[in-house]
A and B are shown apart, each in its own frame.
Chain A
Amino acid sequence: MTWIASSSKGQLKIQQMAFVLMAIIFFFALVAILYIIISLGSLKEKAVSLQEDEAKELVRKLASTPEFASSACSNCIDLDKVFVLKFRNSYKKFWNLDFLQIEKIFPLSKGECEKSNYPQCSKITIIPQEEFGSPSSSFVSLCHFEPQKGGYVKCELGRIYASGKGLK
């Protein structure tokens, strides 16, 4: 009779311990899941902010890159080259950007530049993307060859927009 009583007491203790262990494991698993969720969120945030930083720096630099730079004046964009660039697929991934566009601000004009309306147009979208974050922008001089009056380089006020690669 006494033996049965002590054995059931021991079994109860083991059961108690097993429940405590289960609770501890469950608690740590919850903490781990919480940590992973928070750290993944911050990692995504950091990755996006780094891409945005890159886009910001790049937008300041693009006017002087060989694909954009004009030989007519310093820090001007050669619109003729940029128009050509629009049709070159090899450059779509070159700058790690989701969106890259050049817009003519003044004098006012309308529409995306195509072979039919260039240079009487407003925008040249080099990297088109439907979904992109808020783009960084910078004011630039847009220069192109104008055949009138014997031919000269005409410069206008423009803006360059770039958005860093987002996470998919």
Chain B
Amino acid sequence: MIKNKRAFEFSFSWLFAIIVGAVIIFLAIYAANKFIGTERVKQDTELGKELGIILLPIETDLETAKTSKISFPFETRLYNDCISSNVFGSQKISTATKSGIGNAWENPGFASTFYNKYIFSEKILEGKDYFVFSKPFEMPFKIASLIYLWPKDEQFCFVAPPNEIQEEITDLQLENIFIDNCPPKAKKVCFTGSGCDIDVNLLGSSSEIRGSLKRKYSNKVYFETTALFYGAIFAEPEIYECQVKRLMKRASELSLIYYTKSTLLSPKGCSSNLESSLIYYANQTFSINNSLDLISYISQDSDSLRRRNNDLDCKLF
């Protein structure tokens, strides 16, 4: 039996206030969430562009190699994307920072595009501190400065490398790169035998280091010169092949510049007779399919151009 018959009066104004209040709170939370997301994308986009600018002074001028370290304020993911289409292809860099609000990792910010950069790394890197190493790539003239990037947590161990590589790593004191004494977590790079994380097969005994490299569960890639050897070590095959194509496209454009320079200087008494070879080299490098073409025929053309240029009194490059 209900003794107290007084009911709670739930007026329309109360009901209206609750519904509208709930809508306002929902909209406020939604807007705050969107605001945080937009700010994150904005900061990540800025960071990607800043990284591209920071990498500029790290590129080599006259040096044979250069090393540096990049530290981010927070744990950061770097996205390395390479596009080989168009005249020079493009290097896209984007970042995503770890956040304590919402999902720890969100999609990266908008990518910054660079046409004159060649970054050799995994597609996605994660860490707060990164090591950077750069080397000039010449074939037969300087084509670009290559950048190798790896996070502080990643270690590489070179087992029985050739003297040239061993000396360079020791001289540059490259961090997290070990020779022969391998820490347990390090990626093993073997120059003799197989079954390591990365197996290197060096070809011939030419002055330049050349050969092939196979990562576990990945396709074989081919390299010519130490600059591309490091590229093959630090970059995953897809990125490596794309960067090689981009480099060859730039080599093609440079060949055309040297060709025009040669035609400009020939009437002035600085004849090189390299015009037809330069046009041929420009066509060959522009139509490269993959890194195998490098050691199949481009290296021979490059060697021939280098020798002929060295013999000139009035050098083209």
Determine the chain B residues whose CB is within 8 A of the CB of A3 once the complex forms.
none
| Docked pose: A96 CA to B116 CA in angstroms | 9
Is B115 an interface residue, CB under 8 A from the partner? yes
Cross-chain contact A88 with B256 (CB below 8 angstroms): yes
Please report the total number of A residues contacting B with Cβ < 8 Å. 42
Is A58 an interface residue, CB under 8 A from the partner? yes
Cross-chain contact A147 with B270 (CB below 8 angstroms): yes
Which residue from chain B places its CB closest to the CB of A25 in the assembled complex?
B24
Determine the chain A residues whose CB is within 8 A of the CB of B256 once the complex forms.
88
Determine the chain A residues whose CB is within 8 A of the CB of B57 once the complex forms.
57, 60-61
Cross-chain contact B13 with A90 (CB below 8 angstroms): no
| Docked pose: A64 CA to B134 CA in angstroms | 14
| Docked pose: A54 CA to B52 CA in angstroms | 8
Cross-chain contact B115 with A81 (CB below 8 angstroms): no
Cross-chain contact A69 with B16 (CB below 8 angstroms): no
Cross-chain contact B56 with A54 (CB below 8 angstroms): yes
Is A80 an interface residue, CB under 8 A from the partner? yes
| Docked pose: A5 CA to B26 CA in angstroms | 35
Determine the chain B residues whose CB is within 8 A of the CB of A85 once the complex forms.
257
Cross-chain contact B314 with A94 (CB below 8 angstroms): no
Cross-chain contact A13 with B13 (CB below 8 angstroms): yes
Please report the total number of B residues contacting A with Cβ < 8 Å. 46
Determine the chain B residues whose CB is within 8 A of the CB of A43 once the complex forms.
42
Is B229 an interface residue, CB under 8 A from the partner? no
Determine the chain B residues whose CB is within 8 A of the CB of A81 once the complex forms.
257-258, 261
Question: Contacts A50-B46, A58-B56; is A151 near B268 (CB within 8 Å)?
Answer: yes
Q: What mask results when residues 74 to 98 of chain A are scored 1 for a CB within 8 Å of chain B, else 0? A: 1100101101110110110111100
Q: Which of B98-106, B138-146, B156-164, B170-178 contacts A (4 or more CB under 8 A)?
A: B138-146
Q: What mask results when residues 102 to 129 of chain B are scored 1 for a CB within 8 Å of chain A, else 0? A: 0000000000011110000000000000
Which residue from chain A places its CB closest to the CB of B252 in the assembled complex?
A90
| Docked pose: A13 CA to B16 CA in angstroms | 11
Is B17 an interface residue, CB under 8 A from the partner? yes
Contact pick for A67, options B46, B52, B61, B257, CB 8 Å: B257
Known: A64-B61, A66-B250. 7 other contacts (CB 8 A): A24-B24, A66-B144, A80-B265, A94-B116, A95-B115, A147-B269, A151-B314
Chain B contact residues, CB within 8 Å of chain A? 11-13, 16-17, 20, 24, 31, 42, 46, 49-50, 52-53, 56-57, 59-62, 87-88, 113-116, 141-144, 250, 253-254, 256-258, 260-261, 264-265, 268-270, 314-315, 317
